[in-house]
Amino acid sequence: MTLAFLLVAAGRGTRAGGDVPKQWQPLAGRRVLDWTLAAIRQTPGLANTVLVLHPDDLSRAPDAPGLIVTTGGATRDASVRAGLDALEGTGTTRVLIHDVARPCLTQAVTARVIAALDTHPGAAPALPVTDALWRGADGLVSGTQDRTGLFRAQTPQGFHFEAIRAAHAAHPGGAADDVEVARAAGLDVAIVEGEEANLKITLPADFARAEALLTKAEEKDSKMDIRLGNGYDVHRFGPGDHVMLCGVRVPHGRGLQGHSDADVGMHAVTDAIYGALAQGDIGRHFPPSDPQWKGAESHIFLTHAVDLAAAQGYRIGNVDCTLVCERPKIGPHADAMQAAMATLLRVAPDRVSVKATTSERLGFTGREEGIAAIATATLVSA
């Protein structure tokens, strides 16, 4: 999956008041657009970000590395089409389309949309309508409307890239949002849970609401607890035809010896997490004197450490693991190791580093008597 975010920011937003369009107005010390762009760029695994601007606003674009800036059209759907065209040739397979006027977007909402795209060609956040609905005329209530099955739509709205691009190309225009475009093309769109905080700045009073939410979020971040742990492990070579390293079976003329499957990389990462929690090491939780752990697969230990972190209110921020050996060569297997570890750590692959170095033929690793691993793990309060 190659993920892109498309930020629609070409509108004029006159109902919000002010001397400039709402995306350029100040909000809690930054511009509205700056808050929104910062929120979407926190997305794990994000490969590309497209910012669609009005031609008159190009000089206002932030100087952000890797940001693709393009001009929009006279309507929202025309601007989305321009943004989708700007992603041609980038290898994008999934795209999230977001309104610049929703600066309070959280990673929880984004994650739910991305997850739903595993089983649907489209997905979008929404909130069920809970208030009574009236019809009115001339300032008077003229009737009521059943609210069953009604939702308040939000963004980001996510889609398989080629599907939504084809849907926009075939649509006559005038759609309220990208879900309408998708459905007109026959695409199923899953509804995921939105958030009240994911408000859209439309009227002047909305700035105060958004500022209160963003200030509260920043105060929470300032109280964030970050912990750092390191781990180190060594296993000697013995008979065998492969080694287990970071969850991957690597062919080799010898195997690693240990009470468990001797996955030296996974052991070092596990100890790094335990260390960040001040919870000792693998031996404390899985004593080698206990026969039930003889030959155990190391993912059992790592999963226990991740579960323990979650139980104490932490999530994995990132992990860095260095394998020290002359052979086997790690490079051809590094991507598979990264993916295997990311799954067990419950994070995106770009939050896991697996790399290798030699000891320049010095010491036990240089003599190819075994493999060592060094790991660092960052835990962040959830």
Do the beta carbons of residue 62 and residue 69 sit within 8 Å? no
Angle at 88 between CA 64 and CA 31, to 5 degrees: 30
Q: How far apart are CA 309 and CA 314, in angstroms?
A: 5
Torsion sign over Cα 58, 59, 62, 65:
positive
SS3 361: coil
Selection from 347, 258, 278, 271 nearest residue 302 by Cα: 271
Residues paired with residue 95 on neighbouring β-strands, in sequence order: 4, 159
Q: Report residue 92 as tokens.
A: 């994008």
Distance of CA 298 to CAs 153, 269, 293, 341, Å?
44, 11, 10, 11
Torsion sign over Cα 58, 8, 27, 103:
negative
Q: How far apart are CA 379 and CA 382, in angstroms?
A: 9
Q: How far apart are CA 181 and CA 127, in angstroms?
A: 20
Q: Report residue 180 as tokens.
A: 């309408």
Work out the widest C-alpha separation in the chain, in whole angstroms. Answer: 90
Q: Report residue 135 as tokens.
A: 């019809």
Using 50 as the pLDDT threshold, list the residues of the chain that sit under it: none
pLDDT value for 56:
94
- Expressed in percent and rounded to 5, the helix, strand and coil fractions of the chain are 35, 30, 35
> Tell me: the pLDDT tens digits for 168-191?
999 999 999 999 999 999 999 999
Torsion sign over Cα 95, 99, 102, 103:
positive
Q: How far apart are CA 380 and CA 318, in angstroms?
A: 9
> Which residue is listed with tokens 């920043």?
218
pLDDT value for 152:
97
Q: How far apart are CA 108 and CA 39, in angstroms?
A: 11
- 312 CB contacts (<8 Å, ≥6 apart)? 277
Do the beta carbons of residue 277 and residue 379 sit within 8 Å? yes
Task: Give me the domains of the chain, ranges plus CATH numbers.
Answer: 3-222 (3.90.550.10), 226-381 (3.30.1330.50)
Selection from 70, 76, 48 nearest residue 57 by Cα: 70
Distance of CA 272 to CAs 186, 277, 289, 358, 374, Å?
49, 9, 22, 21, 9
Q: How far apart are CA 218 and CA 239, in angstroms?
A: 55
- 119 CB contacts (<8 Å, ≥6 apart)? 190
Average pLDDT, the chain: 93
Selection from 286, 278, 352 nearest residue 309 by Cα: 278
pLDDT value for 12:
86
For the CA atoms of 259, 314, 318, 221, what is the dihedral angle to 10 degrees?
A: -170
Phi, psi of 281 (to 5 degrees): -140, -175
Pair type for strands 157-160 and 94-99: antiparallel
Q: How far apart are CA 175 and CA 169, in angstroms?
A: 13
Do the beta carbons of residue 244 and residue 295 sit within 8 Å? no
Host H or E run for residue 31? strand 30-31
pLDDT value for 44:
85
pLDDT value for 323:
97
